[in-house]
Amino acid sequence: MATTPAKMDDDGEALAALTLDQAIERSHAIIDRAVAETEADSKEVTAICALFSGGNDSTTMLHLVRDRITHAVHVNTTIGIEKTREFVRTTADDLNVPLIEAFPPHSYDELVRGEVIASKGKHEGEPVWKGFPGPAGHQMMYTRLKERALRKVRNQFVSNPFRQRVIFLAGMRVFESSRRWRNANEIDREGSIVWASPIVHWTNDHMRDYRALHQVPRNEVSDLIHMSGECLCGAFAKPGELDEIAFWFPETAQHIRALEEQVKARGITACKWGERPPKQRASTAGRLCTTCEWAEEGADPGPSIAEWAANPSITRRAA
């Protein structure tokens, strides 16, 4: 089951022309369709979870769907800003939404220190990763820190993958970036997980107007550093980013710099956070990494939003 994102509606009307009420109605229709298509496939929906990073977009989505979900889920990547985690916990409590704070099996620190050892395969007995990731390490970080945490959430609700499904609502939007739309299907199934993006069609104006109308709380971290800060793996860090983090959140930067010393002491070459090792090719961004840029110099960003709008049959590139 997969539904291609809709930059243009069936009548050819630009989504940007939708009123806020129409955008809201369409959001709930996406959730309704995700449930209906799952049940039509003779599968039980055991939970509907809103994935809540703590960023301002995901906070807006959580407010919108708060009466449609069973839980909010925050992935604690172990390398984020604690103030964002505090915001997540407080906001979920204020909205009276049960919160699951999901943790990966191993921490970011353990990964970059080379302490996570492969238990099978041709590299059995060897570290699965060593050092700080550049672009090529992004997929490893996403898989180990976010994807595996979400598997644990899935397993909490799915005991029979042949008969049961959990729906994850993600806050990706077509209008965020000409590069990010490829991860923004309205509905997509991945095993026993059904992914739905209820605000995929929302413009920045829709987001701004909804926040103002409903006085949606804002995460100070997002306002200060322009990202949620829930994951600072550093794979796509921009020059000077750690200094910016240190200015606003010195305790987080201190932790990263202490970790740099630990990695260096182990003789690992990639011992600087946010520094890209040479000759690395960028890996694909995961579904939840909407703030990660496709920044590898010379990389093909794929079709732009304008190109896709002209040919809606193009679907996203597989992650």
Q: What is the domain-level CATH number for residue 166? A: 3.40.50.620
Output the CA–CA distances (angstroms, integers) from residue 116 to 127, 130, 131, 252, in the order listed.
5, 9, 12, 22
**56-65 and 82-94 helices, crossing angle to 10°:** 20
In angstroms, what is the C-alpha Rg of the chain? 20
Residue 231, classified by CB atoms within 10 Å of its CB into exposed (0-12), middle (13-18) or buried (19+), is buried
pTM: 0.83
User: In sequence order, what are the residues at sequence separation of 6 or more whose Cβ sits closer than 8 angstroms to the Cβ of residue 243?
Assistant: 253
| 240 within domain boundaries | yes
Beta strands in 172-281 (DSSP E): 187-190, 193-196
Establish if 312 belongs to a structural domain.
no
Nearest to 271 by CA among 283, 257, 281, 255: 257
What's residue 276's pLDDT? 79
Question: Is 94 within the bounds of a domain?
Answer: yes
Residue 188 forms part of a structural domain: yes
CA nearest neighbour of 58 among 50, 66, 67:
50
Do the domain assignments include residue 118? yes
Q: Residue 176 has what pLDDT?
A: 60
CB of 130 within 8 A of CB of 174? Answer: no
Domain count, the chain: 1
Residue 306 lies in a domain: no
Which pLDDT belongs to residue 289?
A: 67
The verdict on residue 313 lying in a domain is no
Six-digit token string for 221: 């971290």
Torsion over CA: 137, 141, 143, 147 (sign):
negative
d(CA 169, CA 71): 10
Domain that holds residue 163: 2-299
pLDDT of residue 307: 40
Using DSSP's 3-state secondary structure scheme, residue 100 falls into strand
305 in a structural domain: no
What pLDDT tens digit does each residue of the chain (319 aa) get? 554 444 444 333 466 789 999 999 999 999 999 999 999 999 999 999 999 999 999 999 999 999 999 999 999 999 999 999 999 999 999 999 999 999 999 999 999 999 999 999 888 999 999 999 999 999 999 999 999 999 999 999 999 999 999 999 999 888 665 444 444 579 999 999 999 999 999 999 999 999 999 999 999 999 999 999 999 999 999 999 999 999 999 999 999 999 999 999 999 999 999 987 655 555 555 566 655 643 433 333 343 333 433 443 333 333 2
